[in-house]
Amino acid sequence: MSACVRIRHDHTARSSPPSRASGIKRPHSPPPPRRGGRFRIAGADLSASITVFLIAVPMSLGLAVAMDAPLEAGLISAAVGGIVAGLLGGTPLQVSGPSAGLTVVTAELIQIYGWRTTCAITIGAGLLQILLGSLRAARGALAVSPAIVHGTLAGIGVAIALAQLHIVLGGSPLSSAAANALALPEQLGRVSPAAPLIGALTIAVLVVWPRLPGRIGRAVRRLPAALASVAIATAVAAVAAPGIARVDLPSWRSHALPELPQGPVLALATAVFTVLLVASLESLLAAVAVDKLTAGRAGGRTADSAAPAPVTPATPPVQRSDLDRELRGQGVANVLSGLLGGLPVSGGAVRSSANVRAGATGRAATVLHGVWVLLAAGLLVTALEWIPLAALAALVMVVGFQMVSFAHIRNVHRHREFLVYGATITGVVLFGVLEGVAIGIAVAVAVALHRLARTRITVTDQNGQHLVVVRGQLTFLAVPRLSRALGQLPRGGDVVVELDGFFMDHAAYETIQHWSDAQTAQGGRVVFTGRSGGRIAEPASAAHSCCRPWTPWRNHHCHDQPDQPGRPVDARRAAATWVAFPSGEHPTAGQGPTGSGRAEADTPKASAAAPTGGFDTPGDGAAVPRRTGAHRLASGLSSFQRNTAPLVRDELARLAREGQRPSQLFITCADSRLVTSMITASGPGDLFTVRNVGNLVPPPGAEAGDDSVGAAIEYAVDVLKVESITVCGHSGCGAMQALMSTGPDAPQTSLWRWLRHGLPSLERMRSRHHAWARISGRLPADEVEQLCLSNVVQQLDHLRAHESVARRLAEGALQLHGMYFHVGEAQAYLLAEGASAGSGIDEVFDRVGPGDPNHARYDITDLSDPTGLSAPGDHAAASAPAAAADPADPSGSGELERTSA
């Protein structure tokens, strides 16, 4: 019962990978860009751009203050990041601008090299970003440990907060975070009251503004907290502290442009690499975060909140990020920003999340925000010069504190990587960004080596049988302790060796192999097991534990079903049947790591004289036993007890205590190909299932002896209080075929007496008084499929005739649903809401996609689409071609000649 069975590949032209020129999207690849499309501006994009603009202006000025850069440089980088990165980047909703993560780095570069050389360094970093994006290296940047990345950003946040605290207190920051921390007592001793009060007011508004209650609070919260805090602080400072230090925007005529870098080549290369590293990581992490936010919004909720996202059902799906294109777009933006004398540019999490939550649907919002910033830089200079520096410093200080995320700390602590996280923060704060990253990488490598070398070996005696438990990875470093532990065991005794690790190198394998050979040569018995208790020496069909509990099979049962007789067996399948050791040596049939055949007493031995009907022999000569009948049942039960029962025991115990409380009654056919738990993604206690031949629901009082279905309906509705009832038909239904082929003189067998309850469905299909059922924009493929669909609709009518169902429907406490499952396509279809409720004119079964946002209208959340996300209308597009090729409609007109009842 595992998904470990190999998948057969058909190397034909049909299955060959599509060419790039074909335009077909490969799995897990970014979607191809639209060609020839116009740049459209939606109303949601316009309003979102204004929201982001109101956040970006004070943020850009504040970061420029924090870097001790020209203030107009912050506005230039915001405009360039919005317009250029917005147009060329691979994340449509990501908003780029001056980088908070590069605050410390840029400030240090300005102090060492001056502003104009720093602009040249920005250009160099942008050119390298374009190169790396062209080499498709963006995904590789995400391979850095998250503990190091978040530790770097947290360390930068601490450094930003310490530097801006000096400005809030009315002073000036020093060159390093450590120096700023040591100078705080002196700064507190000569503090002036105006700047701290304005800074405290700014922080208070930032904290309180999103939490304002009531109707007035909801109205004013439309204004971003960043803009509100700076505006209120500016107004108060204009009245109460007219002499406070304010923003000073110099004339654009005196704006400094880049020059050729001057300084040691190695130091300049290090600076370029540092800007490249931090800007790229920050942009790519922000792009991944934007993808999560847009995915949560598409599902109707934000990614970090249970509150519904402000998005309408008409919001189009947002494409997944193309990280390589995003890196190239960031590179072009950095090159242009450096040429114009702006700050380094990167994707910003604060601006991007505001853009998503404001309802932006495409890159128009990002580009427009850059346009507004550009206009503000030219037209609002006088208004911007009223802003107190203390307010901007307080705003940036809060941003720095937010970069130290407690959610990230919890995650790294849960994954036992807090040491790496803490070392990275310490290195960034004390020594610098590049040094901190190097320290974090070194600590991460040391922790990984420690875990790899940490192996615990225990030996216990259990009633004369020795148990050797090996916890951890078996490498050459553990060989001395392993040899010592195995050497203390009595020779010729029975030993069980439990290996709990995923890696064993050649030295450890040979140690175990030689000891096992010696032990079995002296009459002992050795069994190798995994942590779950499955014997490693036996075939994976009985011991392999990679089975998934609710989808445990493919091509029948991988734990007991070999390939079909006469079908060639892939050598990789045979190799996967046994545990593969790192040396590349695989035990042969009937042998474990000992190679002696004594490791597993009940494993069948391969024999050259074995009849071909009893074994399928892979290419390496290993024989795989065929298990049938009672042996298959016993083997399946044993596999359940070993692999699945431990996972579901607690849940089943809870259900046993509390009783069953299913939410649905599911009436479907007894066909063995219809696995209800699989197609509905359900588990124990979810469905109250009734299965019969043809998924029939006899009407009340139809015939004596057919009360089992009615009894189940009454029990489900009156006792279990189910919320919905689903009637599910399927393709290729043998009952419907029998119903169509049987005449009036059919033999009075039990099967025919039961199938007579399907005669109303046959009459419905042939009647001119009922609309034809159809599948998602096409007519059924043939009369059998037509009858299968009509049968579902007819059985829903029979359901409504039951008194208990009619009563609950009238109360509004029950819903009925029709479903059709195409077995060959593994595709589920749901009957339209109106037809399912008995009030619709058209009986249309709509396709349920892997991410259909319209699934909520069916009120079934646990069918084959658990995510509920898909592009609207894709079912019609997918099914439309089938209508033209209908085998029952040779003319291709889409119309079939109906037969009268």
Rounded (10°) angle between helices 389-402 and 43-67: 100
Nearest to 389 by CA among 736, 729, 66: 66
Closest CA to 120 of 269, 277, 255, 253: 269
- Asked if 345 and 125 count as a contact pair (C-beta separation under 8 A), the reply is no
Question: Can you tell me whether residue 493 is helix, strand or coil?
Answer: coil
Residue 797 bears catalytic tag: no
User: CA-CA distance, 799 to 792, in Å (whole number)?
Assistant: 11
Strand pairing of 773-775 and 724-730? unpaired
The DSSP secondary-structure symbol of 321 reads P
Rounded Cα–Cα distance for residues 99 and 638 (Å):
58
Parallel, antiparallel, or unpaired for β 827-831 and 843-847? antiparallel
Cα separation, 143 vs 161, in Å, equals 28
Give all strands of the β-sheet with 815-822 in edge-to-edge order. 687-692, 664-669, 724-730, 815-822, 827-831, 843-847, 773-775
How many angstroms separate the CA atoms of 55 and 351, rounded? 7
> Phi and psi of 776, rounded to 5°?
45, 55
Letter string b/e over residues 458-473, b meaning 16 or more CB atoms within 10 A of that residue's CB: eeeeeeeebebbbebb
Phi and psi dihedrals of 230, rounded to 5? -70, -40
Helix or strand holding residue 197 (H, E)? helix 194-208
Structure tokens at 407: 């959610």
* Cα three-residue angle 792-797-799, rounded to 5 degrees: 90
Helix ranges restricted to H, 31-70: 43-67
Tokens standing for 792? 């579902």
> Looking at 730, 774, 778, 817, which residue is catalytic?
730
Q: Residue 389: which H helix or E strand, with range?
A: helix 389-402
> Is 669 known to be catalytic?
yes
Active site residue 671: yes
DSSP state of 154: H
Phi, psi for residue 38 in degrees, rounded to 5: -90, 155
How far, in Å, CA of 623 to CA of 586, rounded? 14
**Is 733 designated active site?**
yes
Query: 146-168 and 265-298 helices cross at what angle (nearest 10)?
Result: 100
- Given the residues 119, 547, 558, 669, select the one marked as catalytic: 669
Residue carrying structure tokens 């009268």 = 900
CB 151 within 8 A of CB 278: no
At residue 821, φ and ψ (nearest 5 deg) are -115, 120
C-alpha to C-alpha distance for 699 and 688, rounded to whole angstroms: 20
- C-alpha distance from residue 778 to each of 288, 589, 804, 893 (Å): 39, 53, 35, 11
**316 exposure class (CB count in 10 Å sphere: 0-12, 13-18, 19+):** exposed
Beta bridge partners of 526: 495
What's the CA gap between 229 and 227, in Å, rounded? 6
Instruction: Give the end-to-end CA distance of the chain in Å, rounded to a whole number.
Output: 48
Residue type, 579: V
β-partners of residue 525 are 494
Pick the catalytic residue: 413, 572, 673, 753? 673
Distance CA 4, CA 364 (A): 47
Of 133, 189, 137, 180, nearest to 161 by C-alpha is 180
Is 631 annotated in the active site?
no
Among 681, 687, 636, smallest CA distance to 661 is for: 687
> Helix or strand or coil: residue 466?
strand
Tell me which of 671, 686, 846, 852 is the catalytic residue. 671
Active site residues: 669, 671, 673, 730, 733
